[in-house]
Copies of this chain bind each other. A is one copy, B any other.
Amino acid sequence: MATSGRGPRERMVFSAAQLLRRGGVAATGMREVAVHAAAPRGSLQHYFPGGKEQLVNEAVGWAGRYAGKRVARLLAALPEPTPSALFAEMVRQWTDEYETAGFAGGCPLAAATVDCAGTTASTREATAAAFAAWTAPLAAALTGMGVPGGRSDALATLMISSLEGAIIMARAEQDVRALTTVSRELGPLLDAAAGKAG
């Protein structure tokens, strides 16, 4: 698996993001990344002279851009776009994975933040940039649905915060309850903000 990407470098970044989700940064070995990516171990030091730190930072950046693009993709697939429907789709990505593949993986951004925010400055900056790359398209989507400009950023932050926290709770409980709960409880609030100015 994980053989789709083009070059070995890209595959390694992708695999790193994938493995980050499971056990966090420290539990993810460089050799393990190479194996998972079906990439030669010798390429690690060639493509990532900055070592593990660089690889993790790029994986985080990749994850942030992926999340940002996914917002647009989900939005485009909605029959009638409403904030609650978008959020429900974002949540559904996770409930689907958990119900079909188990609760092994979480969000790579959360993993990198939890493990590195207090110790590795460059990785912390990478996570901040990644969250920004996720929040911005989401806020723009909300604005496009009628949410006033001043609220869009706040609601996007609320959506992502709730989702991240619910992912953690779901993994702990091995139950998607927390995810479905935040989706259900937050939906009306989001749609209300889109309906009329708040």
User: B-contacting residues of A (Cβ < 8 Å)?
Assistant: 22-27, 103-106, 109-111, 113-119, 124, 127-128, 130-131, 154-155, 157-158, 160-166, 168-169, 171-174, 177-178, 181-182, 184-186, 189
Contact = CB atoms under 8 A, between A and B. Distances in A.
Given A113-B106, A131-B172, A118 B155 contact: no
| Copies per assembly | 2
Contacts of A181: 154, 157-158, 161
Q: Point out which of A22, A26, A178, A185 has the most chain B C-beta atoms below 10 A from its C-beta.
A: A185
B184 A154 contact: yes
A158 B162 contact: yes
A23 B118 contact: yes
A21 to B, nearest CB: 8
A99 B169 CA distance: 26
A129 B20 CA distance: 24
A129 to B, nearest CB: 9
Contacts of A174: 124, 128
Given A23-B118, A24-B115, A104-B118, A161 B173 contact: no
A177 B128 CA distance: 12
B118 A114 contact: no
